[in-house]
Amino acid sequence: MGALKDLGKTLRLIGLYFKVNLASAMEYRGSFWLQAFGMALSNGSFVFFWWIAFQQIGGSIGGYDFKDVMFIWAVTSSAFGAANIFFANMNGITRIIINGELDTFLLQPKDVLISLLCAKTSLGAWGDLGYGVILMALTQGPSKMAWGMFIAGVIVGGLLMTAVAVTAHSLTFYFGDAALIGGMVQEFVLNFSLYPVGIYRGFVRVLMYTVIPAFFMVHLPLKLVRDFSWSGLIALLGVCIVYCSFAYWFFYRGLKKYESGNLVITRI
């Protein structure tokens, strides 16, 4: 009961941050729409790449046909968008720790990690989120299973992307500047999610099931669309809970090593 109450409080806090961030973004409507449009356009160009690739060979690539590839692109794009709308600071954790800007969050009476992650939003991320929805509508039709797994993939994928970033950037507490590792990990997440799982072999496959759980972000939801099973859905949710809990624990364990730089800053 207590855990549920805590979860409710956390969700309320995330909701409040979201409202404030959205209101702030809407102050610059022109910039907001332009960035969102630019991002959607940028993603859209890859549909062209895949169209050409499938035209050249026909059939399937790495076990996926064109529709499957569009599904993983839609889930990855929207999950990335959702993560960066709600938790845009996930990619700035290293910078915030190194600059000593974490002090501001430590003084707040709410969960430090949640406040830190939610304190910023990305305007372009709305383009990613919208692009995924449009791609789904254009390529998957009204299939309830496809849309259900899309929503599950966006939520799980978004949370896992955030958890991976938090874990990677938390290495800064332990070993110093981890910005490069954080950036690389994000690239790995995207590249393992955006291409058919069948093109990878050996060690990369192991990575996709463990440290960089791209398989659970997009490929398992696709598998469930093709052949639904409750055990698959439970595995999807289980991995998400375990990884997010680990990231949370790893951040707070590292936080104990943090030393304030007595930096005085103002957050408006």
Query: Taking CB under 8 A as the criterion, which residues in 79-108 touch other proteins?
Result: none
- Reference 165, options 105, 76, 83; nearest CA is 83
Task: Using the rule CB under 8 A, give the single segment among 48-56, 100-108, 138-146, 218-226 that binds other proteins.
Answer: 48-56
Query: Taking CB under 8 A as the criterion, which residues in 16-45 touch other proteins?
Result: 30-31, 34-35, 37-39, 41-42, 45
To other proteins, the closest distance from the beta carbon of 126 in angstroms equals 15
Torsional sign, CA 114, 130, 220, 198:
negative
Under rule CB under 8 A, residue 61 binds other proteins:
yes
Q: Count the helices and strands in the chain (H runs, E runs).
A: 13, 0
What's the token pair of residue 249? 């624990």
What's the token pair of residue 182? 């954080």
Instruction: Choose, by CB under 8 A, the member of 80, 86, 200, 215 that binds other proteins.
Output: 200
Under rule CB under 8 A, residue 180 binds other proteins:
yes
Task: Using the rule CB under 8 A, give the single segment among 76-84, 105-113, 142-150, 191-199 that binds other proteins.
Answer: 191-199
Instruction: Choose, by CB under 8 A, the member of 3, 4, 29, 48 that binds other proteins.
Output: 48
Under rule CB under 8 A, residue 184 binds other proteins:
yes
Size of the chain, expressed as the number of residues it contains: 268
Instruction: Choose, by CB under 8 A, the member of 57, 107, 265, 268 that binds other proteins.
Output: 57
Under rule CB under 8 A, residue 55 binds other proteins:
yes
To other proteins, the closest distance from the beta carbon of 159 in angstroms equals 24
To other proteins, the closest distance from the beta carbon of 237 in angstroms equals 28
Q: Which is nearer to other proteins, 158 or 182 (CB)?
A: 182
Q: Which is nearer to other proteins, 113 or 189 (CB)?
A: 189
Under rule CB under 8 A, residue 195 binds other proteins:
yes
- Reference 121, options 55, 187, 35, 56; nearest CA is 35
Under rule CB under 8 A, residue 199 binds other proteins:
yes
What does the binding site for other proteins look like in residue numbers (CB under 8 A)? 30-31, 34-35, 37-39, 41-42, 45, 48-49, 52-53, 55-57, 61-62, 180, 183-184, 187-188, 191, 195-196, 198-201, 204
